[in-house]
Structure 1
Amino acid sequence: MQVKKNPKADLNRNSGLYFVMGLTLVLFLTWRALEYKSYEDNQEDIVQLVVGDNLDEDVPVTETIRTAPPPPPPAAPEVIEVIEDTEEIEETVIESTEISQETVVDDVDLNASDIDVEEEEEEITVPFAIIETVPIFPGCESVSKAEQRACFQEKMQEHIIKNFNYPKTAEELGIQGRVFVQFVIGTDGYVTEIKTRGPDLLLEKEAKRIIASLPKMIPGQQRKRPVRVPYSIPVNFKLL
């Protein structure tokens, strides 16, 4: 069969080439359009400062107040009179109380009976471990002397357990530990000089309160004489 059209007359043969060329041209023009910059002419504005010649200011009128000058001081008298002092003044003579080497001191007879000598009783401190007669806790009066030491310690433990009150703040904060308390049972039977040492101030304060509430005791004796007896005991604060 004979071909009717000339193959060289086919318009779609180079369409891809034309498309690429057109696309390249469009991209080139777009790039140039984006890179194009225009600059405006800079025009400097001329500002003219106009200063007026009329610089007069209105000054307010003030009034000067004139005060009278102070009066002159009084003039001195022409004649000065001298008045003689005719009144006699008695002079006070102060005698010296110092004693010199020439002063003689009269002898004074003193008898031994005329001199009062007061004997000051010295408070003796004897430790609890070696004292002859330990302080007697209320409730231990009928106990024999050999058992008074054990009775004292037992009553002390009972008093701590009975009056023990765990501090609420320390309980909430989880504070616990052992507080060592040292105190003195005086010659009058009362507890004094309480000292505490522990892990926290709240626990020390409670331990001091317990010991301060101890009742009056019969004071300890050494050679049948009341003496001061120091004593120490631990107070254990433990959360369950």
Structure 2
Amino acid sequence: MTPKKNPQKDLNKKSGTFFVIGLLLVLAMVYTALEWRTLDPINTIDVALNKVDDSIDEDAPIFELEATPPPKPQVLPVEIEIVEDEILIDETEVITSEVDYETEIVDPDDFEVIEEPVEVKVNWISIEEVPIFPGCENAEDKRTCFNEMMQKHIRKNFRYPELAQEMNIQGRVNTQFMINNDGSIGTIQKRGPHDVLEKEAVRILSKLPKMTPGKQRGTPVKVSFAIPITFKLQ
């Protein structure tokens, strides 16, 4: 036979309430334990034995210290160096400006005036009589003959620099040289892609023969001539 319990005395109904009350009590005890403070006891120290007698009056000793002044810097005597006067002074001769009536007056016509010739430079286009390349003396068109002989001279003396071939350097060198009034080759100007090609162009032009100088109004003059030299690898 199964025993019957009184529903009013059943403790399981209030188990949740009892659990909450117990949990609150435990939390309160933990909080109180954490917040509990213990103060150190206050010790009273009697300083009566350390009291100083007011009748004793002692003055603090005063010490006077004398500062030693710094030593004075030594003053060295000034040495006088005697230098011999070896500098030669150019004496300027002062010429009097007074008129000397005994001086002979020279006639200006007695002086010989030497006129220095003015150097005339003419370019190839405006020259009246072009320079004559050796071999073109009997040519009817001396300009055309000059150009042909120049091309022949360049082909004959042309040599491609080995360094330029190794470095694959090529291009055109613009040159300009002066044919002096005595037919010789003067200053050679050059401008190209590399110094090696420029030197070769100067070498070729420096081998030009002496020519018959160009003339302007019947007078030999300097004539400038420009020609490009092309260096091209095959």
Select 2:136's aligned residue among 129, 134, 140: 140
Deviation string, structure 1 residues 170-214 (Cα, Å, up to 9, x no partner) = 011110000000110000101111011000000000000000110
Distance 1:103 1:225 in 2: 49
Superposition deviation, residue 101 in structure 1? 3.7
Select 2:173's aligned residue among 172, 179, 188: 179
Distance 2:225 2:209 in 1: 15
Select 1:207's aligned residue among 201, 209, 215: 201
Select 1:233's aligned residue among 221, 227, 234: 227
Corresponding residue for 1:106? 103
Asked whether 1:161 is paired with 2:161, we answer no
Asked whether 1:117 is paired with 2:113, we answer yes
Corresponding residue for 1:129? 125
- Give the unaligned 5+ runs of structure 2: 1-90
Deviation string, structure 1 residues 17-67 (Cα, Å, up to 9, x no partner) = xxxxxxxxxxxxxxxxxxxxxxxxxxxxxxxxxxxxxxxxxxxxxxxxxxx
User: Where in structure 2 are the equivalents of 1:74-93 lying within 5 Å?
Assistant: none
Distance 2:130 2:219 in 1: 12
SS of equivalent residue, structure 2 residue 201: helix
RMSD: 1.8
Runs of 4+ in 1 over 6 A off after TM superposition: none
TM-score with structure 1 length normalisation?
0.57
User: Where in structure 2 are the equivalents of 1:185-200 lying within 5 Å?
Assistant: 185-200=179-194
SS of equivalent residue, structure 1 residue 199: coil
Deviation string, structure 1 residues 125-158 (Cα, Å, up to 9, x no partner) = 11101111000000000112xx000000000000
Superposition deviation, residue 105 in structure 1? 6.1
- Give the unaligned 5+ runs of structure 1: 1-93
TM-score with structure 2 length normalisation?
0.58
SS of equivalent residue, structure 1 residue 126: strand
Counting matched residue pairs gives 143
Superposition deviation, residue 103 in structure 1? 4.9
Amino acid in the other structure paired with 2:137: E
SS of equivalent residue, structure 2 residue 150: helix
Amino acid in the other structure paired with 1:106: T
SS of equivalent residue, structure 1 residue 159: helix
Distance 1:143 1:127 in 2: 21
SS of equivalent residue, structure 1 residue 160: helix
Amino acid in the other structure paired with 1:134: V
Asked whether 1:216 is paired with 2:210, we answer yes
Superposition deviation, residue 100 in structure 1? 3.3
Deviation string, structure 1 residues 47-95 (Cα, Å, up to 9, x no partner) = xxxxxxxxxxxxxxxxxxxxxxxxxxxxxxxxxxxxxxxxxxxxxxx9x
Amino acid in the other structure paired with 1:173: M
